[in-house]
Amino acid sequence: MTTKLRIVLAQLNLCVGDIQSNLKKHIEAALTARDQLAADVIVFPELSLTGYPPEDLLLRPSFIQATQSALQQFISEVKGIYCLVAYPQSTPQGLYNACSLIHNGSIIAHYAKQCLPNYGVFDEARYFIPADKPCVALVKDIPVGIVICEDAWSPQPIQQTAAEGARLVLIPNASPFETNKHEQRLRVLAARAKENHLPILYVNNVGGQDELVFDGGSMLVNEKGELSQFAGFFNETLFPIDIDLAATQPISKQTTLPNKEEKTYQALVMGLRDYVEKNRFPGVIVGASGGIDSALTLAIAVDALGKDRVRAVRMPSRYTTDISMEDARELIHALDISSETISIEPTYHAFLESLASSFKGKSPDVTEENIQARCRAIILMALSNKSGWLVLTTGNRSEIAVGYCTLYGDMAGGYAVLKDVYKTFVYDLARYRNQLSAVIPTRTLERAPTAELAPNQKDEDSLPPYPVLDKILEYYLDQSQSIDEIVSRGLDRETVVKIVNLIHRSEYKRKQAAIGTHINHKSFGKDWRYPLTNRFKG
């Protein structure tokens, strides 16, 4: 009896709803695995034919029918290799998140997901019904178990396959990137492998889908729970793995993984690139203020799209300092991108004149500051309308959390690259980017942050220092701690209460904000669904 298999993990970048293109990728990958890589098996990611997550497309019968047609075409065209393909399966009982093992024109085994995630960014219980049966299929006389993604996070599904005699387990996945997600996955897979004395092959998709980024990280974990083979992050690849069940799979020689800054930067680059490419925008426009957020956003944009598809716009006002203009000019020169300068002064002056009678007898306040931000939004959106290019907003998680941003002003745009990045981490990412090539001016990294909407304005005039603010936000947003718990960590109660109040008062802004790349398990968006009308502060 054979104990050897060559299995290809198809770590692919697929597009939700583009069923024909996804099908083409499947066929090409399977034929390449068969003819060039001499593979016995190819494993595709979760819901690979539709892309993940298809969301309410799953409620359209025509979408399910198109997927079924694509599956039948794959079955008829690919022979001579075992293929594990994943798709939504319609049955009289309901819709399953399913996969089928296909060989020589036939489905030889079928599995439907048992554990449906319904938390964070996942809504699978909205669309699918859970199954309850294991699947073990013979591949060249070797019993192979199959589970899908979330099934591995619960002990029972893999225990079932082991009880049915599986010698190894295949897991199609669609697991989004978070800064510490790889380590979590590895811990879970190691536990399952050791519990059941089985090697586990985990294949994840890769690429951006709206605010989600899938990082790949496909791997083999051996029966001792050790990382044996690793396909890497953020790369589309057909990754061959040779399995010999007569011996323990050797430990991977690759021991160095990217650090937090490198992984996150790659995620931001891929998230932006795929959003622009898959939605067919010709390029992006960014307001260049001379500050750290716009500098990092521009650097990410150039790394994602190339310098010819990025355009910077400087929009000075009466409060813009020479230093800001110089720093913006230096960044634009270092990135070698096209730019223009459009003063907001004429527009701002016209608004003030139009509103003079309405504002009569009232002192200047934040209203006038917001008008400046909205003048800039009008300019950027006008340029976007004329060119078809996408406006990128530059706000970070810290600002968006407490509403230190202007609705219909600096929040205006189609994609928020730094939406999930705390201000203190923005600086870390900027320093990391400068290690690749020094493009962000040193002075930009060292200057006190300022919106420059009033004379001598600094962010800390309105907010606590960012290291303090971000610590409060981390405890309250990421860890769901109460005010009392946060204060017990040595933080000032008045400051904590102020920040919590700002978080809740700003919910209406976040509901209208552009989507942005998800890197945090409590991102604003699908992970954060608080009512606007809400008096509970915790």
Q: For the chain, what are the domain ranges? A: 4-249, 263-459+507-511
Q: CATH homologous superfamily for 4-249?
A: Carbon-nitrogen hydrolase (3.60.110.10)
Q: Which fold has domain 263-459+507-511?
A: Rossmann fold (3.40.50)
Where residue 200 falls among pLDDT bands split at 50, 70, 90?
Answer: very high
Q: Can you tell me the distance from the alpha carbon of 408 to that of 392, in angstroms, rounded to the nearest whole number?
A: 13
- The per-residue pLDDT for 438 is 95
Work out the average pLDDT over 208-231. Answer: 94
Residue-wise pLDDT tens digits, 307-327:
999 999 999 999 888 898 999
Pairing label, strands 4-11, 41-43: parallel
Is residue 518 a contact partner of residue 416, using CB atoms and an 8 Å limit?
A: no
For the cut 90, the answer to whether the pLDDT of residue 293 exceeds it is yes
Element (H, E) at 315: none
Work out the average pLDDT over 44-53. Answer: 97
Is residue 512 a contact partner of residue 411, using CB atoms and an 8 Å limit?
A: yes
For the cut 70, the answer to whether the pLDDT of residue 403 exceeds it is yes
Q: Which of 178-186's residues contact partners 24+ apart within 8 Å by CB, and which partners?
A: 178/518, 178/519, 178/520, 178/521, 179/260, 179/263, 179/264, 179/519, 179/520, 180/260, 181/215, 181/217, 182/215, 182/217, 182/233, 182/257, 182/263, 185/217, 186/219, 186/221, 186/227
- The per-residue pLDDT for 210 is 94
Q: Which residue out of 25, 46, 115, 399 is catalytically annotated?
A: 46
In terms of pLDDT, which residue wins out, 248 or 103?
103
For the cut 80, the answer to whether the pLDDT of residue 132 exceeds it is yes
- The per-residue pLDDT for 462 is 81
> Is 113 a catalytic site residue?
yes
User: What is the phi/psi pair of residue 16, to 5°?
Assistant: -60, 130
Work out the average pLDDT over 430-458. Answer: 87
For the cut 80, the answer to whether the pLDDT of residue 450 exceeds it is no
- The per-residue pLDDT for 81 is 97
- The per-residue pLDDT for 377 is 96
Angle at the Cα of 175 from the Cα atoms of 170 and 176, rounded to 5 degrees: 160
- The per-residue pLDDT for 1 is 63
Share of the chain above pLDDT 70, in %: 99
- The per-residue pLDDT for 249 is 83
Q: Can you tell me the distance from the alpha carbon of 36 to that of 30, in angstroms, rounded to the nearest whole number?
A: 10
Q: Report the Cα–Cα distance between both ends of the chain, in Å, rounded.
A: 62
- The per-residue pLDDT for 248 is 82
- The per-residue pLDDT for 254 is 63
Pairing label, strands 168-173, 200-204: parallel
What is the residue-wise DSSP string for 350-372?
HHHHHHHHHHTT----HHHHHHH
Bridge partners, 206 (sequence order): 215
Share of the chain above pLDDT 90, in %: 87
User: What is the phi/psi pair of residue 92, to 5°?
Assistant: -60, -25
Where residue 343 falls among pLDDT bands split at 50, 70, 90?
Answer: very high
Q: Which residue out of 83, 99, 113, 263 is catalytically annotated?
A: 113
Q: Which residue out of 15, 83, 135, 149 is catalytically annotated?
A: 149
Where residue 487 falls among pLDDT bands split at 50, 70, 90?
Answer: very high
What is the residue-wise DSSP string for 159-188?
HHHHHTT-SEEEEEE--B--TTHHHHHHHH
In terms of pLDDT, which residue wins out, 215 or 447?
215
| Neighbouring residues of 278: CB distance < 8 A, sequence distance ≥ 6 | 15, 208, 209
Work out the average pLDDT over 331-354. Answer: 95
Mean pLDDT, the chain, rounded, equals 94
